[in-house]
């Protein structure tokens, strides 16, 4: 036996002896633990809404919103099947509420966002206030707030759910509680939070008691108007077009402490510069159509489609006409921990 083989055998025998003591040699796993660059298990993926919409509607005949608690089809990353993840840290799904249904009130540690994809006029209620939802609206449900949903219209309503479930579960910090009634009592008129906190004003004496925004519905009509107004300055970022982030108006921080949300306008004919960042990004297409080249793949997308760009995956977008994209990621956590990094490449 060669000296090299003898050394290998001696080391393996040592590893076998220490294993019952629940010990592992760092030098055998170091390269997989401390990597030169992010090593994500998530893959580039796209869900075309026209393809999956029949499945979403079919679920409405299989189970009621009340029985399901939340009737959602999870968008599972193809490389993370069985883990209920769209990226390593984020959950996403498409929720269906049929006419006359109520998704019963509950609360949980996980923060949630809703991005309205199809239908208009259904509502969500958060901490005693109801808001009517329209396509393109960005609605938040902060951690441990009572919330329920209902559809008093005559058409189905579908929205994208984004939650920090993998993050909360990583910390073993999940709690949940059901209300003893389907719909929570209302204590404020509709639109109160937007008027009180979202008009460039704050009530005198207001003190933020939560890291989440006191505004829980950011209407698309206002967002789209802002983007259109800013278009006039023609100050296009080469990587993003015109990209804005939703904020907590009381602090200027992200609207939610664990998830960042953005809306961007890509003008007709734009091909963005290559870009990558450490926060994996989930996109929902609001307007327009285009292509995204990421990880050696080409994804085509159009209105209501969802696609995901994993962490540190170089990508760029190409559009013929105007396109508007909503997106969310785990960027707030990375920023506060000093981990977030971006790479703005060139053509």
Distance (Å, whole) CA 17 – CA 45: 44
Per DSSP, the residues of 25-56 read -HHHHHHHHS-SS-------EEE-HHHHHHHH
pTM greater than 0.85 (yes/no): yes
Instruction: Give 66-86 pLDDT, tens digit per residue.
Output: 999 999 999 999 999 999 999
The answer on pLDDT for 347 being more than 70 is no
Domains, the chain: 45-344 (2.60.120.10)
pLDDT at 266 over 90: yes
Calculate mean pLDDT across residues 261-273: 98
Angle at 106 between CA 285 and CA 306, to 5 degrees: 10
Both tokens of residue 258? 């664990």
Is-contact 342 315, C-beta < 8 A? Answer: no
pLDDT tens track for 118-174? 999 999 999 999 999 999 999 999 999 999 999 999 999 999 999 999 999 999 999
Average model confidence (pLDDT) across the chain? 96
């Amino acid at each position: 036996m060669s000296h090299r083989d003898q050394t290998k055998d001696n080391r393996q025998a040592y590893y076998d002896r220490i294993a019952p003591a629940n010990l592992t040699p760092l030098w055998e796993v170091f390269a997989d633990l401390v990597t030169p660059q992010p090593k994500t298990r998530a893959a580039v993926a796209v869900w075309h809404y026209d393809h999956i919409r029949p499945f979403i509607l079919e679920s409405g005949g299989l189970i009621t919103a009340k029985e399901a608690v939340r009737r959602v089809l999870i968008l599972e990353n193809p490389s993370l099947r069985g883990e209920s993840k769209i990226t390593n840290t984020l959950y996403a799904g498409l929720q269906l509420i049929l006419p006359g249904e109520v998704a019963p009130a509950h609360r949980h540690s996980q923060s949630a966002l809703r991005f309205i994809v199809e239908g208009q006029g259904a509502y969500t209620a958060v901490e005693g206030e109801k808001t009517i939802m329209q396509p393109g609206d960005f609605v938040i449900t902060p951690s441990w707030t009572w919330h329920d949903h209902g559809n008093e219209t005559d058409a189905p309503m579908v929205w994208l759910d984004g939650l920090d479930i993998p993050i909360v579960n990583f910390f073993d910090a999940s709690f949940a509680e059901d209300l003893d009634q389907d719909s929570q009592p209302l204590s404020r008129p509709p639109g109160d939070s937007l008027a009180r906190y979202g008009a460039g004003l704050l009530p005198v004496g207001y003190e933020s008691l939560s890291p989440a925004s006191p505004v829980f519905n950011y209407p698309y009509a206002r967002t789209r108007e802002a983007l259109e107004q800013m278009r006039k300055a023609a100050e296009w970022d080469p990587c993003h077009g015109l990209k804005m982030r939703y904020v907590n108006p009381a602090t200027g921080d992200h609207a939610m402490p664990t998830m960042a949300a953005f809306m961007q306008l890509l003008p007709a004919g734009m091909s963005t510069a290559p870009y990558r960042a450490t926060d994996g990004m989930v996109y929902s297409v609001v307007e327009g159509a285009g292509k995204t080249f990421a990880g050696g793949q080409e994804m085509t997308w159009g209105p209501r489609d969802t696609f995901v760009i994993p962490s540190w995956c170089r990508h760029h977008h190409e559009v013929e006409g105007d396109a508007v994209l909503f997106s969310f990621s785990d960027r707030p956590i990375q920023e506060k921990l000093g981990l977030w990094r971006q790479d703005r490449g060139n053509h």
